[in-house]
Amino acid sequence: MTVWIAIAVTAVGCYAVKLIGLLVPEGVLERPLVRRLAALVPVALLAALTAQQTFADGTTVVLDARAAGLAAAAVALLLRAPFLLVVAAAVVVTAGVRALTG
Amino acid sequence: MTSAGSGLTLLQTCALSLLVFTGASQFALVGALAAGGNPFTAAAGAFFLGVRNAFYGLRLSQLLALPRAVRPFAAQWVIDETAAVALAQPTRRAVRIGFTVTGLSLYVLWNLTTLLGAVGAEAIGDTDAWGLDAAGPAVFLALLAPMLKTATERAVAGLAVVLGVGLLPVLPAGMPVLVAALAAPAVLWATGRRTATAGEKAAEDDVRRADR
């Protein structure tokens, strides 16, 4: 049930911001500071989420096979590998390290 | 695939994909729920990731020049990919075609992939053993990498990582990510007026380029 609540709230919220962008009068969101923040806030959110999904086990911080997988993804990105290959590298290396360490 | 790996049912996974339809928010919601977040903080995190779509919408509304009655229907397709394609087109007609074709094909493909992925994941069973729990953060990393162009963006990302992970044992699930979002204004404030004026100039240049 909580999952359905989360889906409903997210769906309504995400649809609302998409629509607001189309309806808001020009000029309000084009202020330089607002534009800078709008570009930087997703960077902060994505960075924090990436780190959490890599190092979090519930509310504790751990270093496990996922860290190796993300390191592999980072290397793939530096080598300009395509999107799917980046994700595949993370999955394969994580599974490999997990299999080796039991 | 990622949703099913986090304990959502097939129906929930597909509903999320159909109704939310903005990738980062979907992954964020699933990630926060999997981490034990309550539904409202999880939704708040996903919501903030979707906020950038409002900024695409602002620019797209000028270029698409849609009648007001059509806007509520076009809104669901206002995402990174449709904006990228539409903004690159030279004429209004091409902008409209680019937006519609990208929106429609992505909507169909994305939801089809979600369905197939969810069915596949249920058949596979324990997704952790296959390393699929690393797919979520890898997707985020791939989305994030092209955004880290300047020192400011890297500083924001670095501070956000420290806040997001450092506050994890202290704050309730979902909250550390929201606090990490404050890295953006914090870094902007720290870099001071110099960056603000430079950013102002860059933003004006962007507008001029886009209007040409």
Q: Which one has a higher pLDDT value, A79 or B191?
A: A79
Interchain proximity A89–B168, CB inside 8 Å: no
Q: What is the pLDDT of residue A69?
A: 96
The reply to whether A79 falls in a domain is yes
Model pLDDT for residues B15-25, shown as the tens digit of each residue: 999 999 987 78
**pLDDT-derived band at A86, boundaries 50, 70, 90:** very high
To the nearest whole number, what is the mean pLDDT of chain A?
87
d(C-alpha B168, C-alpha B166), whole Å: 6
**What is the phi/psi pair of residue B81, to 5°?**
-70, -45
- Chain A residues touching residue B46 (CB < 8 angstroms): 10, 13-14
Q: Which domain holds residue A86?
A: 63-102
Q: Could you tell me which residue, A6 or B124, shows the higher pLDDT?
A: A6
Residue-level pLDDT at A71: 97
What pLDDT was estimated at residue B8? 84
Q: Is the pLDDT of residue B212 over 50?
A: no
Asked whether residue B47 falls in the same domain as residue B81, the answer is yes
Question: What are the beta bridge partners of residue A56?
Answer: A61
Task: Closest CB to A86: pick one of B29, B138, B177.
Answer: B138
Contact A73 B61 (CB under 8 A): no
Q: What is the pLDDT of residues A28-74, one digit of tens each?
A: 656 788 777 767 777 887 788 889 889 988 778 999 999 999 999 99
Look up the pTM and report it: 0.62
Report percent pLDDT > 70 for chain A.
90
pLDDT band at B35 (very low <50, low <70, confident <90, very high): confident
- Kindly state whether A52 is in contact with chain B, defined as any CB-CB distance less than 8 angstroms: yes
| Domain shared by B187 and B133, yes or no | no
Please report the pLDDT score of residue A76 as a whole number: 96
DSSP B169: T
**Are B34 and B63 found together in one domain?**
yes
Q: Are residues B5 and B56 in the same domain?
A: yes
Query: How far, in Å, CA of B133 to CA of A95, rounded?
Result: 9
- Rounded to a whole number of angstroms, the distance from the CA of A52 to the nearest CA of chain B is 6
**When comparing pLDDT for A35 and A21, which is higher?**
A21
Q: Is B18 in the same domain as B117?
A: yes
Same domain, B63 and B12: yes
- Residues of chain A contacting residue B161, judged by C-beta atoms under 8 Å apart: 47-48, 50-51
Share of chain B above pLDDT 70, in %: 79
Residue at a domain's end among B147, B171, B197: B147
Residue A1 lies inside a defined structural domain of this protein: no
Tell whether A61 is within 8 A of chain B (Cβ).
yes
At which of B147, B170, B189 does a domain end?
A: B147
Written in H, E and C, the secondary structure of chain A is: CHHHHHHHHHHHHHHHHHHHHHHCCCCCCCCHHHHHHHHHHHHHHHHHHHHHHHHEECCEECCCHHHHHHHHHHHHHHCCCCHHHHHHHHHHHHHHHHHHHC
Same domain as B161, residue B103: no
Return the higher-pLDDT residue of B107 and B49.
Answer: B107
Residue B182 backbone dihedrals phi, psi, to 5 degrees: -70, -10
Residues B158, B142 within the same domain: no
Task: Tell me: do B142 and B155 sit in the same domain.
Answer: no
Q: Is residue A53 part of a domain?
A: no
Q: How far is B114 from chain A (nearest CA, A)?
A: 15
pLDDT of residue B206: 53
- A80 — pLDDT class (breaks 50, 70, 90): very high
The pLDDT of residue B1 is above 50:
no
CB contact under 8 Å between A73 and B141, yes or no, is: yes
Provide the shortest C-alpha distance from residue B7 to chain A (in Å): 10
Residue B204 has pLDDT above 90, yes or no: no
- Is pLDDT above 90 for A92? yes
Total domains present in chain A: 1
Q: Please indicate, yes or no, if residue A14 is contained in any of the structural domains.
A: no
Q: What percent of chain B has pLDDT over 90?
A: 20
CB-CB: which of B56, B134, B142 is closest to A91? B134
Instruction: Tell whether the model's pLDDT for residue B211 goes beyond 80.
Output: no
Domain count within chain B: 2
Better-scored residue on pLDDT, A58 or A81: A81
Smallest Cβ–Cβ distance between A87 and the set B31, B139, B182 belongs to: B139
Residues B160 and B142 in one domain: no
- Its domain, for residue B160, covers 148-212
Average pLDDT, chain B: 80
Does A82 contact chain B (CB < 8 Å)? no
Structure tokens at B31: 């990630």
Q: What is the pLDDT of residues B66-79, one digit of tens each?
A: 888 899 999 999 98
ipTM (interface pTM): 0.79
